[in-house]
Chain A
Amino acid sequence: MKSLRWSLPLAIFVILVAFLWVGLSRDPREVPSPLIGKHAPAFELAKLHAPSETLATADLKGTVWLLNVWASWCVSCRVEHPLLVELAKANIVPVYGLDYKDEPDAGRAWLAQHGDPYTASIVDRDGRVGIDYGVYGVPETFLIDKAGVVRYKQIGPLTPEALKQKILPLVRELQK
């Protein structure tokens, strides 16, 4: 009983430190998406480079694909863009671009300037599809499997680590 006098406060202190350690090391801007494990919201949008054609989620059934939300006004999109260009060259997984709340002309000019890694880009002028996908901080990237289920979401720019350690291994597993 006597040992309780110091062991109890110590235990409380250790628990507190553990909670703060975990809590403070998390990025509060990364809100876990409720879409993981659920069907990707359906859309049918006009293509950026061929406005008369549309692309729908149904067209992509049976393929593993990445949906990258970008915009010409998005500054951090420039950070991740070279990585996407590289990924496109490696030809591992098709990347579709969602040009989010952007002027199509500005979007096309931006891709012409920085390189176009996308199998196709589609235009979400009013951001409605963005809302369906729970987009709140561009850039965001979704990994969607053959059945159309969202498997992973990257909030903010893609990093080489996230790509190598999480996304690409998952892509390979899902492509089997």
Chain B
Amino acid sequence: MIARAAIAALLLACAAATSAVDPVSPNGENAAGMSALDMRLKRLEAELRCLVCQNQTLADSNADLADDLRREVRSLALAGKSDDDIKAYLVARYGDFVLYKPPVKPITWMLWFGPFALLAGGGAVWWVVLRRRARSTTPTATKADTAGEMRARKLLNGEDDVAV
């Protein structure tokens, strides 16, 4: 419980730290000297995958292609395209793979809903097992209990111990 509280506090601190960077100064630049466009691109590039080093985002990658794609994304943004337009532009060329967050469609249903289906399946099995166990153990336990109870009562009453 203490560990959980500590993690929550840490996350809150991180959130506060990142939001502390956000406020934009009067000249349109924040403390790090980034313009609103830079910040928008940074956020967008963090959602896009570099195809050369596949586990890096476009923002993190040093690959030549990532450089070109960042330039392309910037020129599209300057041309007034929305984030969705830019994503669509890249998806048309490189496929859904460029998106770190894959869209929900029939081919990705397994990906999105599979874990929940597994959880539900596991829960169902657990429930069936528990119910079956409860049903099969209760009657025999009662029978054994009554036999034992009768024997104990006889002993308490001072009667001789007879094998049951």
Contact = CB atoms under 8 A, between A and B. Distances in A.
A131 B54 contact: no
Contacts of B64: 101
Nearest to B132: A1
A137 B52 contact: yes
Contact residues on A (Cβ < 8 Å of other chain), bracket: 10 to 19
A32 B65 contact: no
Nearest to A28: B54
Contacts of A94: none
Given A31-B51, A101-B64, A127-B68, A134 B125 contact: no
A34 B51 contact: no
Given A34-B91, A34-B94, A35-B93, A131 B68 contact: yes
Contacts of B95: 31-34, 134
Contacts of B97: 31
B60 interface: no
B125 A136 contact: no
A132 B94 CA distance: 9
A29 interface: yes
Given A29-B54, A131-B72, A136 B92 contact: no
B69 interface: yes
A8 interface: yes
A28 B55 CA distance: 11
A136 B50 CA distance: 9
Interface in A91-138: 101, 126-128, 130-134, 136-137
Interface of B: 51-52, 54, 64-65, 68-69, 72, 91-97, 125
